[in-house]
Amino acid sequence: MSSRDPDLTPVVPRWLSQFVREKLRPALVQHYRVAHEALARWLVHHAQQIRERNSWEAARQACLEQLPILTEVDDPRPPRPDRDVGWLEGCPQRGVHVGGWGPPELASDREPPVDNPLPPPSNRDLTSEECWAALTAVHDFTRDRRERVSPTDDIAYEVLTQSAAELTESHLPELSEMLNAVVSEAESRVRTPSPAPDASRPARKPRSRGNPGLDEWEKQAMVKAYSDYKASELKRKEYLRERGFFSGMDEAESLAYLERCRKHWEKANRGK
């Protein structure tokens, strides 16, 4: 079920609707740029996790196809070889159960994770990006489709949005804690002044957002930002007026940042 389908509007419990209306929506409106950029980074990270999981599964299936068929008499497991191995077991073909020793990184307990921040997990802390992504999804699940704050139609985000249907009122304290944490972080960045330069050391040119020293998440976020701009089919100033300036930047800085995003976008799409 897609939250974009007006004929299949989800039933939203009163407690969640009230939380979004009174607390979450005002915070998202105020910190839209921060939330949007955090969501873009989460989508990049989530896509990378999926690629790693798919690569791992393909390697595991290829290994399983080389293992012998298991029968009831094969329990207990055959002796473990001296070398470092892990136990692999599964069904590479319908009705065929195989197992044996193989590369330890392909054992079942080594499956790469694909994290979903909704409902909030109880066994780990969420990153700032996960909190913003989850809260944005909760908002878009709850509100009328015309009031969605996320411009993305990425399938991973749609799945995350529908995960909000699994929330119960017992999750309200965790949602409130997530919101308070990311809002406090966003506001502290605005309030914190830049440190005074150390006169005893020569001034260093600050690293610009387009420098090669960017990590992969930042580069992908810039590619995503320029892709969003191209999809809008607007001129740059019109686009910025519609979506708002990038976090912590004025119009001139946002235009310069968008130009740097263009360069990363061109590198990412070179040869395509």
Q: How far apart are CA 245 and CA 263, in angstroms?
A: 19
The whole-model pTM stands at: 0.64
Q: How many percent of the chain have pLDDT more than 70?
A: 81
Angle of helix 216-232 relative to helix 32-64, nearest 10 degrees, comes to 110
Identify which has the larger pLDDT, 217 or 172: 172
Q: How far apart are CA 129 and CA 178, in angstroms?
A: 11
- What pLDDT does residue 198 have? 55
Q: What is the pLDDT of residues 123-173, one digit of tens each?
A: 999 999 999 999 999 999 999 888 888 877 789 999 999 999 999 999 999
Q: How far apart are CA 227 and CA 229, in angstroms?
A: 5
Residue 15's pLDDT band (boundaries 50, 70, 90)?
A: very high
* Arithmetic mean of pLDDT over the chain: 82
Structure tokens at 47: 């896509």
Per-position DSSP letters for 235-251, written without gaps between them: -HHHHHHHH-PPTT--H
Q: What is the pLDDT of residues 50-87, one digit of tens each?
A: 999 999 999 988 888 888 887 765 566 777 876 788 88
Mean pLDDT of 78-107: 81
Q: How many percent of the chain have pLDDT more than 90?
A: 39
Q: What is the pLDDT of residues 194-216, one digit of tens each?
A: 555 555 555 444 444 444 455 56
Least confident of 105-109, 122-126, 218-222: 218-222
DSSP 120: P
Are 150 and 106 contacting, i.e. CB atoms less than 8 angstroms apart? no
